[in-house]
Structure 1
Amino acid sequence: MSTLVFGHKAPDTDSTGSPILWAWYMNEVLGHSAEAVLLGEPNTEAAWLLQKYDLPKPRIIDDVEDGQRVVIVDTNNPAELPANIANADIRRIIDHHRLVAGLSTKGPIDITVKPLACTATIMHELMGDDAAKMPEWAKGTMLACILSDTLAFRSPTTTETDKALAESLASDLGVQVEIFASEMFAAKSDVSAFSDAELLRMDSKEAEIDGKTFRVSVLETTSPDQVLSRKDSLMSAMETVAKEDGVDQVLLFVVDILKEEATMLIPNDMVRSMAEKSFSTVCGDADYVVLPGIISRKKQIMPNLTL
């Protein structure tokens, strides 16, 4: 039986690239049978990565069977994993997010959770000297994961470890970080083909805050006007998506990568009050609020959300 390696639902670049990297390491270095899979369609930036290095899109799965051996990367949150994850045989977890209760394993396992910006950076450390065996496509994939999660070192989640590794990988590949990142961000910014509901689910995480449940959506872009021009229809879709996904409210933050600020949509009075309490701002009667310096969901948005 092959071990399935996967990240969270709504896979971004790190949750697409990291399973591919770890499956390569298990197959080619450790000599174990492994397959990278996804829990949904990769976003446009992750799709760009697959195309750039001519990588086949991993198989998309809806759930896992009882006893299936799995390695979980880039999450440890059961809400972001297959419904039957509790009955799988979890062999390892590699992550950089806060611990969330709920996962149970059949025995002791290797768990690595580090305060780094990117799962791929942690994997590089775990590979040790074997990381030197990575082919060019793997180095490019690792670089893309780091630049995506750090917003090319703009995010407050960035550590010196992430930055040094990205610069080393770029040097090995003979590419310039800013040019490589700008190509990635351009791909991420083209959301014209997606419906409002797809945009709201594209890069989102579920959270419980003061007894209410939320889908917290973040769209990182160098062209925020392309998203904000759809503001009215997006706010209408928030209510539909909330009902369909069984949450109380959808929150949307449109992150302008270049200006390093987020625009939060304000569809109702509850979100208005939440924005003012969470970010010490005043919304007035506007249906959006600009939050200067807010670009990281993990460090700046999620920890501050309050009702």
Structure 2
Amino acid sequence: MKFNLIFGHKVPDTDSVCAAIALAYLKNKINEKSIPYVLGNVNTETKFVLDYFNVETPKLLDNVKLQVKDLNYEKTKPLMSNVSIHYAYKYMNENTLRTLPIVDEHNKLLGVITMKNIAMSLINTDESKIEALYNNIIETLNAKQIVRVDDTIVGEIIVAAFYEKTLKHNITFNEKSIVIVGDRYDVIEYAIERKVKLIIVTGNLDIPEKYINSAKKNRVNIISSPLKSYQTTKNLCFSKSVNEIMNKNDIIMFNENEYVGECKEEIENSKHSKFPVVTKYKKYLGILSRRHLINPTRKKVILVDHNESVQSVDGLMEADILEIVDHHKIGDIRTSLPINFRNMTLGSTNTIIYQLFKENNIEIDKSVAGLMISGIISDTLMFKSPTTTQKDRETVDKLAEILGIDVYEYSMQMFKAGTSLKGKSIEEVFYQDYKEFVSDEIKVGVSQVFTLSIDEIMIKKDEYIKLINNIKSEKEFLLNIMAVTDIINEGSYIFYSTLQENIVKNIFNLVEVYQGIYVPNCVSRKKQIVPGIMNVIQYM
């Protein structure tokens, strides 16, 4: 069964992670099978929340690019390497197959055979010798077992068309002889005396008990074939195992996790038309052909807390977007079909998801309520952000009733855990909540760091500025900013890429500007910082 993949933006924060988990819970309750994911490592605040409510961190999703496993390739049943050529030929005809995979007892791919392989084996085979399983000879000739001593038959084929005296004079029977004979009991008796490997009695004739007993005593295999001697001889070569004729080397196969984009050129340029699909352990899964590339089954995804491609998962355009739940400005993501798009001017995506629970009349589990209230508290900075609405406050009150917690006390624990910079490198601090934005092909980057003490940043101020400048140069940004937001005092300290003072002045309406300048009443990247940046960009 295919599952919907639900995830937030590339740099996960508490609102996006909790929204993905909560929405997946809701979707599963209404029988829309879904799995939450994250696109990066969760920050310390989010980890605190997940641990507090005993919820597992969602698995990491690298991309949603089309993979071989997303294609509707043929689940062709493979055959074991010890089956006869005759059985394989019959199976391929009955199922109109051009390529047949061959596996071992553990379903590991050993090779493939085609009708061409079978045809060439008939042309090139040495019809005077054979090595085949006893069972395969029975199956190929539609014969009956009379005496069975060996599981494998190896020897030289002799068609006993002469009388016994002539045979004794011209042909020597030995323990490697495979004798094909009709109703010549004298020849049968002679062959048993010579302890040949196998006697194939043609014409479906009855074999007297005395010969059967003698064959058992002399350890001679006997088979009764319903075919005439000529047909028996002709068909016997088909009893060889497919292992002898299959392609074993230089097989073009694809791992189920390989990306279609990387396989496509090799498939289109190959002289072959069929390709085995295997697991990373080379276990056989199916057969892929060029036509399977036409209408692939794309991954089904639901986006939360973002709707801009630069913030989303790699390969997004190769997936089918089913739904978006967000509270940010409308971005650049496009879809080929109409989708459910819930975008509301609220302080948190989790406030929207709470409404979805109510609309679907689904009871909210305590752990899910804990995640949702955490997402709202985090994104609204406990209602200090200008993005906060009355609906956010009301939702927190309702969720707090389910949980039975003191919201202020819990929020302080959460913020304390989230703002701790202990043990983190400057890169980890900068990237823990970092987003990129594009407008008219102009790119900017904005990191937001929440703290209860600016001193931890100021003592490494020069290192942060150097990092900000390096990122701007590497990514060819117009501007790169780090806003260090003081939750208690409700303002932000601004650090920016060097020589961008005039742009920063205009963004924040400042008279003067310097690294680490404090901007009061500035706590929201979404509603204050990014709109200011976009307003400046449009006049450049």
The answer to whether the 8 A contact 1:49-1:144 is kept is: yes
The answer to whether the 8 A contact 1:203-1:218 is kept is: yes
Matched, 1:302 2:533: no
1:193-217 superposed Cα distances (whole Å, 9 cap, x missing partner) = 2222222222122123676421111
Deviation of residue 248 (structure 1)? 3.9
Per the alignment, residue 147 of structure 1 pairs with 377
The answer to whether the 8 A contact 2:480-2:497 is kept is: no
The answer to whether the 8 A contact 1:197-1:238 is kept is: no
Deviation of residue 288 (structure 1)? 2.2
Classify 1:169/1:243 alpha carbon distance in 2 versus 1 (closer, same or farther; 3 Å): same
Per the alignment, residue 287 of structure 1 pairs with 515
The answer to whether the 8 A contact 2:6-2:301 is kept is: yes
Deviation of residue 267 (structure 1)? 4.7
State how far apart, in whole Å, the 1-side matches of 2:452 and 2:305 are: 24
Aligned-pair RMSD on alpha carbons?
A: 1.7
The answer to whether the 8 A contact 2:44-2:417 is kept is: yes
TM-score normalised over the length of structure 1: 0.93
Supply the AA of the counterpart residue of 1:186. Answer: K
Per the alignment, residue 177 of structure 1 pairs with 407
Per the alignment, residue 302 of structure 2 pairs with 71
State how far apart, in whole Å, the 1-side matches of 2:313 and 2:440 are: 25
State how far apart, in whole Å, the 1-side matches of 2:466 and 2:348 are: 33
TM-score normalised over the length of structure 2: 0.54
1:203-248 superposed Cα distances (whole Å, 9 cap, x missing partner) = 1221236764211111122222222322111111112223444534
State how far apart, in whole Å, the 1-side matches of 2:518 and 2:361 are: 42
The answer to whether the 8 A contact 2:472-2:497 is kept is: no
Runs in 1 of length 4+ with deviation above 4 angstroms?
129-132
Per the alignment, residue 46 of structure 1 pairs with 46
State how far apart, in whole Å, the 1-side matches of 2:367 and 2:313 are: 28
Residue pairs, 1:114-129, within 5 angstroms: 114-128=344-358
Classify 1:129/1:156 alpha carbon distance in 2 versus 1 (closer, same or farther; 3 Å): same
Deviation of residue 105 (structure 1)? 2.3
State how far apart, in whole Å, the 2-side matches of 1:266 and 1:95 are: 28
Per the alignment, residue 31 of structure 1 pairs with 31
Classify 1:245/1:192 alpha carbon distance in 2 versus 1 (closer, same or farther; 3 Å): farther
State how far apart, in whole Å, the 1-side matches of 2:474 and 2:361 are: 43
Match of residue 168, structure 1, among 385, 395, 398: 398
Instruction: Name the SS of the counterpart of 1:133 in structure 2.
Output: coil
Q: Which runs of 5+ in 2 are unaligned?
A: 67-297
Classify 1:198/1:249 alpha carbon distance in 2 versus 1 (closer, same or farther; 3 Å): farther
State how far apart, in whole Å, the 1-side matches of 2:483 and 2:361 are: 36
Supply the AA of the counterpart residue of 1:7. Answer: G
Q: Which has the higher contact order (CA 8 A, sep 6+)?
A: 2
State how far apart, in whole Å, the 1-side matches of 2:431 and 2:480 are: 9
State how far apart, in whole Å, the 2-side matches of 1:239 and 1:184 are: 31
State how far apart, in whole Å, the 1-side matches of 2:334 and 2:408 are: 41
Classify 1:230/1:19 alpha carbon distance in 2 versus 1 (closer, same or farther; 3 Å): same
Per the alignment, residue 89 of structure 1 pairs with 320
State how far apart, in whole Å, the 2-side matches of 1:132 and 1:221 are: 36
State how far apart, in whole Å, the 1-side matches of 2:362 and 2:5 are: 24
The answer to whether the 8 A contact 1:266-1:289 is kept is: no
Supply the AA of the counterpart residue of 1:63. Answer: N
State how far apart, in whole Å, the 2-side matches of 1:245 and 1:194 are: 23
Per the alignment, residue 55 of structure 1 pairs with 55
1:42-75 superposed Cα distances (whole Å, 9 cap, x missing partner) = 1111111111111111111111033100011100
Q: How many aligned positions are there?
A: 303
Per the alignment, residue 119 of structure 2 pairs with none
Which segment is superposed worse, 223-232 or 7-16? 223-232
Deviation of residue 258 (structure 1)? 0.3
The answer to whether the 8 A contact 2:445-2:479 is kept is: yes
Aligned-residue identity in percent: 30
State how far apart, in whole Å, the 2-side matches of 1:202 and 1:245 are: 18
Instruction: Name the SS of the counterpart of 1:269 in structure 2.
Output: coil
State how far apart, in whole Å, the 1-side matches of 2:508 and 2:479 are: 18
State how far apart, in whole Å, the 1-side matches of 2:361 and 2:451 are: 31
Supply the AA of the counterpart residue of 1:94. Answer: V
Match of residue 275, structure 1, among 490, 501, 504: 504
The answer to whether the 8 A contact 2:426-2:464 is kept is: yes
Structure with higher helix content? 1
Which segment is superposed worse, 147-156 or 216-225? 216-225
Supply the AA of the counterpart residue of 1:170. Answer: A
State how far apart, in whole Å, the 2-side matches of 1:280 and 1:204 are: 23
State how far apart, in whole Å, the 2-side matches of 1:244 and 1:283 are: 28
The answer to whether the 8 A contact 2:480-2:496 is kept is: no
State how far apart, in whole Å, the 2-side matches of 1:68 and 1:106 are: 14
Supply the AA of the counterpart residue of 1:175. Answer: I
